[in-house]
Amino acid sequence: MKKHAVTLIVMLLCLTTSFAQQTTAGIPQTDKSGVIRLKGKATQMVMPDIAVVYFNVTAKEKTEQETLAKLNTQTQSLISRMESLGFKKEEMKLGNYQIYENYTYEGGKQKRSGYIASNSIILKFKFDKEKLSNLFGKIMGEKSENISVNFSTEVSKELQQKTSTQLVREAIKDASIRAKTIAEVADLRIVMIKEVNYQVFNFRPVPMLEKAYSFAEADVTAAAPAFSNVDVQEIELSEEVEITFQVENLMK
């Protein structure tokens, strides 16, 4: 017990518990008021509820017009396949479009051989293993020329907010319990909460699989990922609250 008491008193000093000296009629007196400042923290592992699939479509032809036409055809074909599986257009976003000249070297000289164009489609939907399996099975079961795919998982704003509310309460409770323990050991009495500091944390998406799957016209025999046999990686959410407690010194 003595060892624990010493440890908590050291914690008390480290956590900036202080008692000021005042002077009344030229006689130094100890002010009975002071503060305990510490941080309460709470964490929780959360199962992501959003799947994000990134498709990159590439086309290569001799002329700019032919390249763009091919890129458009491949992109529309991909969108149609996703729609046939029940995905909605509002779940798909187009981005990262680019086109540039392609060069080859012949006899030590640079020669333009055509154009390369690419764009990306981001598919975001409520996580569902069966829908993911069907999606990859559809893409890999057909000749998908020059399409690469990778995906990750996210926690929706709704789930973040719900979890955050719970964690903030637990963090405040954690700080209050530890402050009470310190006060009891140091012969202090908690008068009130003087200040609360809280900072909102941003949550980053976590990759579900690091490997990107590439599908070429010459390679369509590969099996689709077995999502039904793979558990999604959980994401740790946390909240931290700093609380300053006003305390009174009970020592005589």
Distances in Å between the alpha carbon of 9 and those of 181, 182, 186, 209, 225?
10, 7, 6, 47, 56
CB 80 within 8 A of CB 92: no
| Domains delineated in the chain | 1-49+155-252 (3.30.110.170), 51-126 (3.30.70.2970)
Report CA torsion sign: 66, 68, 73, 75: positive
Highest-scoring range by mean pLDDT, 30-44, 180-194, 226-240: 180-194
pLDDT at position 192 is: 93
Tell me how crowded residue 141 is: count the other CB atoms within 10 A of its CB.
13
Q: pLDDT-derived band of residue 54, with 50, 70 and 90 as boundaries?
A: very high
Q: How far apart are CA 41 and CA 100, in angstroms?
A: 51
pLDDT above 50 (res 162): yes
CB 204 within 8 A of CB 152: no
Q: How far apart are CA 146 and CA 169, in angstroms?
A: 50
pTM of the full structure: 0.69
pLDDT above 70 (res 6): no
